[in-house]
Chains A and B, each alone.
Chain A
Amino acid sequence: MRKLLIADDEEGVRALVRMTLESDDYEILEASDGEEALRLARSELPQLVLLDVTMPELDGFEVCKALKGDAATSHIAVVLLTARTQKADQAKAAEVQADDYFTKPFSPVALLSKVDEVLGAP
């Protein structure tokens, strides 16, 4: 059973991800802001964290940076969800060492295959 953390300030997006990914293979954890995401990631140590970049307080970039910078959590795969397609954001994603990024709106099917890809098929 793989643990997946979805962090997004929109409740609907979290519900979408849960509906898409929840199954026997994946346990879905939810966080509604960056701080909560960081806390949960550290305590639950999921295999993958999906981070929305536009969260209040701590945004996705900062959470990613923190996770990757911490030896305890640097192994966790991080995928950034962004509604922004500017080159600056892509560069920033690379800078904080995200494993991948995904643009919104997204197809749930594509998300599923992306997750499988990053983690390896269950």
Chain B
Amino acid sequence: MSDAAKGTPDSLGSRIRRARALIRDPSALPVVPLVALMTLTTLGPLAMLTYESVRLSSEALEHEIEGRLASTAEVSAVAVGERMEGLAHVVESFAGRPSLIRSMSRRRIDRAEILLHLRELRSLGGGLSVVFLTDRAGQVVTLLPLTPALEGEDFSFRDWYRGVMSLRSRYVSEAFEGAAAGRPSVVVAAAPVRSSAQRGGSRRIIGVLGGAYDLTTIKTFVSRFETAYGTSLVVTDQRGVVVAAPEGVPTLEKLDDELVQRALAGGSGAATRDGVLYGYAAVPSIGWTVRVSVPATRALSGIREIQFGVYLTAGVFGVVLILGLIVFVMALRRLAHERNKSAAILASMASGVVITDPYGTVTAVNPALEELLGMSGGELVGRPFWDVVPAFDSDGGAVPRGDRFITTALLSGEVVHSRGYDLFFERRDGRRVPVNVTAAPIVDANKEVMGAVEVIRDSSVDREIDELKSSLVSTVSHELRTPLTMIQGFSELLMKESLNQDQSREAVEQIHNSALRLSRLIEDLLSVSRIESGRLRVHLQQVNLRDAVAETLALFPRQSARMEVQIDEALAVHSEYDKVVQIVTNLVSNALKYSPDDSIVTISAERDGSSVVVSVRDRGIGFSEEDRKRIFQKFFRVDRPEVRKRGGTGLGLYITKGLVEAQGGQLWHEPGEGGGSVFSFALPVSMGEI
């Protein structure tokens, strides 16, 4: 029934925060910045690696392909050049035939002879569609296939004529639309026909022999390369006019392309433009150009798979990393939660807790200990426990470091408890508080001592109870010895027969009274015992209050003048008669004892719903607020002279309360108006017979 004042609890939240701050965990890490850092340092490089590897491989491949295209262009250009040159060579060799020359040189041109040669030239293959011979002026002498309309026509405006006449050697012409039937697009390989060597002079050009090469033939030739190299190929003549090209690029039209311009200038190389990779080269000796191309997507398709593979791997890796991070964060959260829980547990304990390292230096404390010692955690943590919290025994002697419980726990590895009420800790403000402690070593899995934990309880209340018990024992012992003294003494005197008659009678009376007194004390102690063990039995009956009170009054005959009764004669309670008498007697006895001899004690009763409230009012000096809280406690006696004089046991009110509550009632105290006390108890009302 202790009544220790608990003080104002501060909120659990703030106590947890303080406990967390005090439980310093050296591995404590801030979660969010750490996770962000880890994400950046792992996913960042991964993304960079992926991007760079894809980029670099694309670039390398592009570069490779460009190189390939350049050489493709060059190879193709060489082939085209050789083909056309070869053709020109053939024409040239025919143009150098003596019989052809002779047939041109006579006054009358031998057309038949010429046609023979033409036929032979044409049949050589190589794709010549038209072969022809013109005179010096460019007028057609004859041609195959025979086209009489064209014979005698002047073709000196043609590029092949001009080329031959200016270069005075074989020549491959630009592409143009021929005059022959169907107006095919052609290129002409032509060579000058020179007169036979004359004395002392160069040979005069007497005519031009030419063979027309259909562009489609060139195209056919070129397409083989296209297939072989997997590229598109465009061939232009020396003006940049398209000679052969894939569908969609018109022949006989000038191709407006910077690359072609470069090739016309004699350059070769590769470039990437608008998603297409190009290679270009100049055709040696005839001034033509070749341009090859391949769409980037097709060229780089090989890399597509690599890219896909890289992205997939990176993706999987990234997902695994993120999952790993999530698990890590969850683990950290878990750890923080556990720490919070531990902090919460320590914060909510009512006993003080101190945790030290193996050398006794404080590493953590809880809020309850801070309150107990009047010190903040900051003053305690980091210092040796025995220095910062001095201990003393009940004689005021200091407890040396080696005798401290925490020291024993650390050194012996055993759990130790303080016993009794012999230990005091000194607070910051110098006040010494009695404590009970339990110290235990903190042992890791290898049985190494990692520190110690001590639980400290303020034992002030326990000491008080203990002292009360001690004083009870001495009180009871005193209470017992006093009547015993009289019994022993007076009976001894009687036995000596040294007393006269009056004295003898008095002696016997004293013996009797003392015996009764002893008996009452024993009864009281037994009542207390029964109340506490719950063995009090109440036989319920209808108890008329007037009657019960009257019986009480009969016990105090000499004080009847002081007592005033205000009870309705019909009022009855559901209780046990003897107990009601006992209760009222106890209260009335106190009232009479502890109020002035001339003051009135009033006993009243009234109905209150389903109960009856009986009140005993005295006009004594009442109780202080402090004492009021404790008057129903066992052995409690108010420390006042008239109370000490009476030599009671401090059990009266405790027993009375127990009696009332055993019947389902309540007993309480209120200060009386104008001073004094009112003790009231409530019992269930009884209406009819049970």
Docked-complex contact A19 and B481, CB < 8 angstroms: no
Cα distance, A9 to B646, chains bound together (Å): 9
Q: Contacts of A13 on B, CB cut-off 8 Å?
A: 482, 485-486, 489
Binds B, one of A39-47, A70-78, A105-113: A105-113
* A120 proximal to B (CB < 8 A): no
Interface residues of B in 61-96 (CB under 8 A from A): none
Partner of B492, one of A9, A83, A108: A108
Partner of B496, one of A9, A10, A56, A109: A109
Partner of A19, one of B477, B499, B645: B499
| Bitwise interface map of A from 1 to 41 toward B, beta carbon under 8 Å scored 1, else 0 | 00000000110110110011000000000000100000000
| Bitwise interface map of B from 419 to 430 toward A, beta carbon under 8 Å scored 1, else 0 | 000000000000
Cα distance, A56 to B474, chains bound together (Å): 16
- By size class, the interface of chain A is 20 to 34
Q: Contacts of B645 on A, CB cut-off 8 Å?
A: 9, 33, 56
A28 CB, nearest partner CB in chain B, Å: 13
Q: Contacts of B514 on A, CB cut-off 8 Å?
A: 12
* A90 proximal to B (CB < 8 A): no
| Bitwise interface map of B from 499 to 538 toward A, beta carbon under 8 Å scored 1, else 0 | 1000100110010011000000000000000000000000
Cα distance, A86 to B474, chains bound together (Å): 10
B502 CB, nearest partner CB in chain A, Å: 10
Cα distance, A50 to B642, chains bound together (Å): 23
Partner of A105, one of B485, B641, B642: B485
Docked-complex contact B482 and A16, CB < 8 angstroms: no
Docked-complex contact A10 and B492, CB < 8 angstroms: no
Docked-complex contact B641 and A16, CB < 8 angstroms: no
B526 CB, nearest partner CB in chain A, Å: 22
Partner of A109, one of B478, B492, B499, B513: B492
B521 CB, nearest partner CB in chain A, Å: 14
Cα distance, A104 to B487, chains bound together (Å): 11
Given contacts A13-B485, A15-B510, A56-B641, whether A83 and B478 have CB atoms under 8 Å apart is: yes
Partner of A104, one of B482, B496, B506: B482
Q: Contacts of A105 on B, CB cut-off 8 Å?
A: 481, 484-485, 487-489
* A92 proximal to B (CB < 8 A): no
> How many residue pairs between the two chains, A and B, have CB atoms under 8 Å in the bound complex?
70
- By size class, the interface of chain B is 20 to 34
Docked-complex contact A20 and B489, CB < 8 angstroms: yes
Docked-complex contact B486 and A19, CB < 8 angstroms: no
Given contacts A54-B478, A57-B641, A83-B477, whether A12 and B492 have CB atoms under 8 Å apart is: no
| Bitwise interface map of A from 45 to 67 toward B, beta carbon under 8 Å scored 1, else 0 | 00000000010110000000000
| Bitwise interface map of A from 74 to 92 toward B, beta carbon under 8 Å scored 1, else 0 | 0000000001101000000
A105 CB, nearest partner CB in chain B, Å: 4
Given contacts A56-B645, A108-B492, whether A16 and B477 have CB atoms under 8 Å apart is: no
Q: Contacts of A107 on B, CB cut-off 8 Å?
A: 488-489, 492
Among the interface residues B483, B486, B506, B513, which one has the most CB atoms of the partner chain A within 10 A? B486
Cα distance, A86 to B79, chains bound together (Å): 135
| Bitwise interface map of B from 621 to 644 toward A, beta carbon under 8 Å scored 1, else 0 | 000000000000000000001101
Cα distance, A83 to B499, chains bound together (Å): 26
B603 CB, nearest partner CB in chain A, Å: 28
Docked-complex contact B641 and A19, CB < 8 angstroms: no
Q: Contacts of A109 on B, CB cut-off 8 Å?
A: 492, 496
A26 CB, nearest partner CB in chain B, Å: 14
B459 CB, nearest partner CB in chain A, Å: 22
Docked-complex contact B489 and A9, CB < 8 angstroms: no
Q: Contacts of B492 on A, CB cut-off 8 Å?
A: 107-109
Among the interface residues A16, A20, A106, which one has the most CB atoms of the partner chain B within 10 A? A16
Cα distance, A104 to B647, chains bound together (Å): 16
Q: Contacts of B213 on A, CB cut-off 8 Å?
A: none
Cα distance, A108 to B492, chains bound together (Å): 7
Docked-complex contact A12 and B513, CB < 8 angstroms: yes
Docked-complex contact B510 and A84, CB < 8 angstroms: no
Among the interface residues B474, B484, B489, B510, which one has the most CB atoms of the partner chain A within 10 A? B489
Cα distance, A108 to B483, chains bound together (Å): 14
Partner of B647, one of A9, A19, A106: A9
| Bitwise interface map of B from 249 to 260 toward A, beta carbon under 8 Å scored 1, else 0 | 000000000000
A80 CB, nearest partner CB in chain B, Å: 14
* 7 nearest A-B pairs in the assembled complex, by CB-CB distance: A105-B485, A83-B481, A56-B644, A16-B489, A12-B486, A56-B645, A104-B485
Enumerate 26 A-B pairs (CB-CB under 8 Å) in ascending A order.
Answer: A10-B482, A12-B482, A12-B483, A12-B485, A15-B506, A15-B510, A16-B490, A16-B510, A19-B490, A19-B493, A19-B506, A20-B489, A56-B641, A56-B645, A83-B481, A83-B482, A84-B474, A84-B477, A86-B474, A104-B481, A104-B484, A105-B481, A106-B489, A107-B489, A108-B492, A109-B496
> 12 new A-B pairs (CB below 8 Å) besides A105-B485, A107-B488, A108-B489?
A9-B647, A12-B486, A12-B510, A16-B510, A19-B493, A19-B499, A56-B642, A56-B644, A83-B478, A83-B482, A105-B489, A106-B488
Chain A residues engaging chain B, CB cutoff 8 angstroms: 9-10, 12-13, 15-16, 19-20, 33, 54, 56-57, 83-84, 86, 104-109
